[in-house]
Amino acid sequence: MKENINSWKDLPIGGIVDEPGTAMAYKTGDWRTLRPIHNSEKCINCLACWIYCPDSAIILKDGKVESIDLEHCKGCGICAHECPPKVKAIEMVDEADFR
Amino acid sequence: MGKTRVARTGNEAMAEAIRQINPDVVAAYPITPATEVMQIFATYVADGLVDTELVPTESEHSAMSAAIGAQVAGARTMTATSSQGLALMYEMLYIAAGLRLPLIMAEVNRALSAPINIHCDHGDTMGGRDAGWIQIFSENSQEAYDNLIQAVRIAEHSDVLLPIMVTTDGFIISHAMEDIDIYSDGEVRDFIGTYKPLQPALDYKKPITVGSIDFVDYYFEHRRALAQAMSNAKNAILEVGREFGSKFGQEYGFYEAYKLDDAEVAMVCLGSTAGTGKDAVDNLRKRGIKAGLLKVRVFRPFPAEELAARLKDVPQICVLDRSDALAATGGPLYAELLAAMFEDRADHTVINRIYGLGGRDIKVGEIEELLSSQVSAAAGGKSIDRIGYLGVRE
């Protein structure tokens, strides 16, 4: 997959995207103002966050939440909202705190 | 070579060219004075003389949208319109160009409302002059026919891939009958060749995405590539015009010069007024005034250097504009020709940089660098590019 094409001379004609699956290469993480912080000690791995995440940014390993893909997470907070109130394993933190 | 001499109006001549081109798809909506082009062509479709899928739409916006869809799919596609119809297409004109689709349009120049008027001026076509379409003006029915045939080759040229509009003047050409030479179907089809789309969307083995979003990161670069394609169209227009001449007899370039070599005064114009102007030139010469005429055939890409060079030795030049830019520096042909001729004759160095397209940031340092390099070039007696880009990734 072609990433970071620099010169205008190298762009595909007409802005065509000439291969499928390129949304992976388009990093949307920097749109985020709130960052989800996942606490694996509190998490009961019900996977509600994984089901509801509109950006497929909840990364699983062996059926358990492993991490959050911050290159694609836009910080919508749906995961934190869907996490059961008794669990609250995902906290939304101001992105500015990490800068 | 088989030529047949026939009497045709401009609309009939364009309909004849479209029949011979035999496009895969035609999408159109009727509007005076271009209605006849499609009305006549529709009879060719009904009579089975062409293989075209004719799509009658509910508006010109839809006609251009359907044409874009067909061309994206891989079909050689044409349309025809005029005035308000072209204005209704404006949004989609930019998309056809940005997607680099070699669509072909027969455009009959007509004034824009208000007040409502169905007769000729060039205001409609001028509104689309920066949309990324190649624009070719015709003096008469013969040129309308010849230009439309050449348009296929120019638009589909591998260095170009841009939409193209061939214009006639409403009623003056569209409805006036003249003797013209029609070439045989076989020769026209040999000349235009088979359309080979670059990346047809219906090729399921090579899936593509068309019309995706493009923010500050790449938009400027895509527009820069579009400008290059328009620039490349200059060579393609000359190449196709020469080949057309060797095959059919009449060669075409950027302009036609009439009695210009020794002219003390020259008029410059687009379209059918060139015919009127030639009579005026003849009359003036009988009266002892050395008049001449330069008919500009190609308005986009604007052949600035070539026109300036051709008019270099003419002391008095009169540009006739059939559209008003409303308190701008005269009409569009005047403004662009004046800019083209300014470089050789001015005491000032006025340069131009295109910047900030699609939201690309412009920085203090970039402006400092640009202005200081202009000053140091002047001090060192060095030339600096007159027109260029600032902030695009070369």
Contacts of B227 in chain A (CB under 8 A): none
Best of A3, A7, A11, A16 to disrupt the B interface (most B CBs within 10 Å) is: A16
CA-wise closest residue to B293 among B260, B322, B330: B260
- In one-letter notation, the amino acid at residue B279 is D
Question: In this complex, is the C-beta atom of B72 within 8 Å of any C-beta atom belonging to chain A?
Answer: no
Chain center to CA of A34: 12
Q: Are A49 and A75 in contact (CB under 8 A)?
A: no
**A18 with B199: Cβ contact below 8 A:** yes
Please report the pLDDT score of residue B347 as a whole number: 83
- Which 151-180 residues of chain B touch chain A by CB within 8 A? 161
Both tokens of residue A4?
């970071």
**B221 with A17: Cβ contact below 8 A:** no
Question: How close B204 gets to chain A, by Cα (Å)?
Answer: 11
Distance CA B227, CA B229 (A): 5
Of residues B316 and A22, the one with the higher pLDDT is B316
Contacts of B212 in chain A (CB under 8 A): 15, 17
Residues in chain B: 394
**B208 with A18: Cβ contact below 8 A:** yes
As a dihedral over the C-alpha atoms of residue B299, residue B304, residue B310, residue B314, rounded to 10 degrees, the angle is 100
Question: How close A26 gets to chain B, by Cα (Å)?
Answer: 11
CA-wise closest residue to B106 among B205, B38, B46, B48: B38
Question: In this complex, is the C-beta atom of B383 within 8 Å of any C-beta atom belonging to chain A?
Answer: no
Question: How close A77 gets to chain B, by Cα (Å)?
Answer: 24
For residue A99, name the pLDDT band (cuts at 50, 70, 90): confident
A–B interface: beta-carbon pairs under 8 A = 55
Which residue of chain A has the CA closest to B218? Answer: A8
Question: In this complex, is the C-beta atom of B242 within 8 Å of any C-beta atom belonging to chain A?
Answer: no
How would DSSP label each residue in B155-188?
HH-TTT---EEEEEETTTTTT--EEEEEE-HHHH
Please report the pLDDT score of residue A4 as a whole number: 67
**B222 with A11: Cβ contact below 8 A:** yes
For residue A1, name the pLDDT band (cuts at 50, 70, 90): very low
Both tokens of residue B259?
């009695």
As a dihedral over the C-alpha atoms of residue B275, residue B279, residue B282, residue B286, rounded to 10 degrees, the angle is -170
Domain ranges of chain A: 39-99
> Which domains, and CATH codes, for chain B?
3-248 (3.40.50.970), 255-390 (3.40.50.920)
Distance CA B285, CA B234 (A): 33
Which residue of chain B has the CA closest to A19? Answer: B208
Q: Decide if domain A39-99 falls under CATH 3.30.70.20.
A: yes
Question: In this complex, is the C-beta atom of A11 within 8 Å of any C-beta atom belonging to chain B?
Answer: yes
Contacts of A16 in chain B (CB under 8 A): 99, 199, 208-210
**A11 with B392: Cβ contact below 8 A:** no
Question: In this complex, is the C-beta atom of B389 within 8 Å of any C-beta atom belonging to chain A?
Answer: no
Both tokens of residue B41?
């062509």
**B214 with A20: Cβ contact below 8 A:** no
Which residue of chain B has the CA closest to A6? Answer: B393
At A35-83, the pLDDT tens digits run: 999 999 999 999 999 999 999 999 999 999 999 999 999 999 999 999 9
- Which 39-68 residues of chain A touch chain B by CB within 8 A? none
Question: In this complex, is the C-beta atom of A85 within 8 Å of any C-beta atom belonging to chain B?
Answer: no
Q: Are B130 and B189 in contact (CB under 8 A)?
A: no
Q: Is the ipTM of this complex over 0.90?
A: no
For residue A2, name the pLDDT band (cuts at 50, 70, 90): low
Which residue of chain A has the CA closest to B208? Answer: A18
**B209 with A16: Cβ contact below 8 A:** yes
Question: In this complex, is the C-beta atom of B373 within 8 Å of any C-beta atom belonging to chain A?
Answer: no
**A16 with B207: Cβ contact below 8 A:** no
- In one-letter notation, the amino acid at residue A19 is E
Report CA-CA distances (Å) from B20 to A29, A55, B183, B244. Answer: 54, 51, 9, 15
Does A21 have pLDDT greater than 90? no
How would DSSP label each residue in chain A?
---S--SGGGSPGGG-B-SS-GGGGS--GGG-SEEEEE-TTT-----HHHHH-TT--EEEETTEEEEE-TTT-----HHHHHS-TTT--EEEEEGGGG-
Both tokens of residue B98?
């940005």
Contacts of A8 in chain B (CB under 8 A): 220-222, 224-225, 228, 392-394
Question: How close B208 gets to chain A, by Cα (Å)?
Answer: 5
Q: pLDDT tens per residue, chain B (394 residues)? A: 689 999 999 999 999 999 999 999 999 999 999 999 999 999 999 999 999 999 999 999 999 999 999 999 999 999 999 999 999 999 999 999 999 999 999 999 999 999 999 999 999 999 999 999 999 999 999 999 999 999 999 999 999 999 999 999 999 999 999 999 999 999 999 999 999 999 999 999 999 999 998 889 899 999 999 999 999 999 999 999 999 999 999 999 999 999 999 999 999 999 999 999 999 999 999 999 999 999 999 999 999 999 999 999 999 999 999 999 999 999 999 999 999 999 777 788 999 999 999 999 999 999 999 999 999 999 999 989 999 999 999 9
Question: In this complex, is the C-beta atom of B100 within 8 Å of any C-beta atom belonging to chain A?
Answer: yes
Tell me B22's DSSP state.
-
CA-wise closest residue to B158 among B232, B76, B251: B232
pTM beyond cutoff 0.90: yes
Q: Determine which helix (DSSP H) or strand (DSSP E) holds B355, and give its type and residue range.
A: strand B352-355
Please report the pLDDT score of residue A3 as a whole number: 58
Question: In this complex, is the C-beta atom of A20 within 8 Å of any C-beta atom belonging to chain B?
Answer: yes
Distance CA B18, CA B41 (A): 7
